[in-house]
Copies of this chain bind each other. A is one copy, B any other.
Amino acid sequence: MSTSTTPTPADKPAYSALAATFTRLYRYSHLGSIAGWDQAAMMPSKGNSARGAALAELQVLMHQTLTDAKLSGLLQAAANEPLEPQERANLREMRRDWESANLLPERLVEAQSLAASHCEHAWRAQRKANDWQGFLENFRPVVTLAREEAQLLSQAKGVSPYEALMDKYEPGACAAHIESVFGAVKTWLPDLVHRVRAQQESDSVLQATGPFPVESQRALGLEVMALLGFDFEGGRLDISTHPFCGGVAEDVRITTRYSEDDFVRSLMGIVHETGHARYEQNLPRELLHLPVGRARSMGIHESQSLSFEMQLGRSPAFVQAIAPLVHKHLGAQEALSASNLARLLTRVQPGMIRVDADELTYPAHIILRFEIERALIDGAIAPEDIPALWDEKMQAYLGLDTRGDFQNGCLQDIHWPSGSFGYFPSYTLGAMYAAQYFASIRTLHPDLDARVAAGELSPVMDWLRTHIWSQASLWDTDTLVQRATGETLNPAHFRAHLERRYLMG
């Protein structure tokens, strides 16, 4: 490719050939990312079948590119070339992609893409209609194909089937470690929720009274994005059924959804997705076309969104900084005072919907999904067993009865319809990493809250840029976190953060 920006030095011909191939893959994936964003945010219903076929064709093309017989020899040869450390990290990431692709047959890749497009598209209407039976019909093939993928990856990598899928989102993740981390959370979280709720009973909190027009919420969201440093020349805000951060690193597309009687949902959704967006917008530009230039993992990605939404967004200091914007766009009712808003944003109340959950009950939603999807992929349960298990666990973890309410139960998330099993743990890992980052940031900046309250976010942004954004995939996850905070994942920071914010706040 004459347009490749990768130099072709004579002493690393194999590496250079690999870089050219992965640059081509990056360009193909650009088209898939934009078409995928469009499918969720713009596309009318009759476009879906052709879109699904086109995206599946792209998956096949990318799979063919990665399974080209030449790559094996190039990967071996490149390992003996005089590579810079950054190139060696890139080689590691290229090999990882190559290994995963070569374990899966083209037929499976195509079938998965088609089944997911079909199931996810139908899910949008089925969720609204609370139609679990209709959904189940499209969902069964998605599960069957995911299990097939998991089996193939599992046998080759010597890990459990579920772990093999989780590895796609969190390279090197160990299911037993996550189970033990989550198991520990289950020992202290119910009691903490109980104590906090008892303490909050005596709080006087005003509910904000709508309607809050969509245009006002959008205008507020845009101003908060600007405060958080979102680059509007390299991204957009739109609407979709399920909020997400998509597009490409050069042009990041975040979405939200609006409800006229609840502005907090869209506002906190926007803050969350802006965290993802700034990570993408600040990955090193010169490496974007190579695997080493991409975000480290989905756990680290969620650590950005949750640094923004939880550590920063729901802190009284940040609420103070944005209160004038809230008043400007939504009016100045008493419930929107900074102090009341801060109480609203830290109010603990078990609820049905994960993305609307408070910070404290959120891990329960994740643990429930982790347990169900692991059983589903490992074959311990069938798709039709999900609702009963969902009800049982919602009752046990959050004391809620969800029977018959599929819409706000097991149909609420896009992950399963789109075949993304193994993703959910990333959220709680992300929350834990975020707490660990902020412990470091607070040590460096004891005056952090005062500066945030004054709208000065540079202590946070500079730290994230230096330690996370600019590091892309130069290191594995443990090394990245160790370099950033001096230790690998330490869930104690998360617990300490929750206790400080919710018991001593």
Contact = CB atoms under 8 A, between A and B. Distances in A.
Tier of interface size on chain A: 35 or more
B2 A30 contact: no
A45 to B, nearest CB: 5
Copies of this chain, tallied across the complex: 2
A181 interface: no
Interface string A224-249: 00000001111110000000000110
A110 to B, nearest CB: 7
A381 interface: no
Contact of A234 (B1, B47, B58): B47
A233 B47 CA distance: 8
B56 A30 contact: no
Given A32-B31, A44-B251, A47-B248, A3 B54 contact: no
Contacts of A51: 30, 34, 250-251
Given A51-B251, A114-B3, A58 B31 contact: yes
A501 interface: no
A387 B306 CA distance: 56
Contact of A110 (B3, B43, B288): B3
Given A44-B235, A236-B42, A50 B250 contact: yes
Contacts of A177: none
A248 B55 CA distance: 14
A441 interface: no
Contacts of A47: 234, 247-248, 250-251
A49 interface: yes
A70 interface: no
A149 to B, nearest CB: 17
Contacts of A58: 27-28, 31
Given A3-B53, A50-B30, A45 B233 contact: yes
A370 B248 CA distance: 39
Contacts of A2: 107, 110-111
Q: Which of A35, A44, A60 has the most CB of B within 10 A?
A: A44
A51 to B, nearest CB: 7
Contacts of A31: 31-32, 35, 54-55, 58
A57 interface: yes
A234 B46 contact: yes
Nearest to A28: B57
A286 B350 CA distance: 51
Interface string A1-36: 111000000000000000000001001101110110
28 contacts: A1-B57, A2-B107, A2-B110, A3-B53, A3-B56, A3-B114, A24-B57, A27-B50, A27-B53, A28-B57, A28-B61, A30-B35, A31-B31, A31-B55, A34-B34, A35-B35, A38-B38, A42-B42, A42-B236, A44-B233, A44-B234, A45-B233, A46-B233, A46-B234, A46-B250, A47-B250, A50-B250, A51-B251
Given A28-B54, A51-B250, A61-B61, 16 more contacts: A1-B60, A2-B107, A2-B111, A3-B114, A30-B50, A30-B51, A30-B54, A34-B38, A34-B51, A38-B38, A44-B232, A47-B251, A49-B250, A50-B248, A50-B251, A51-B251
Interface of A: 1-3, 24, 27-28, 30-32, 34-35, 38, 42-47, 49-51, 53-58, 60-61, 107, 110-111, 114, 231-236, 247-248, 250-251, 288
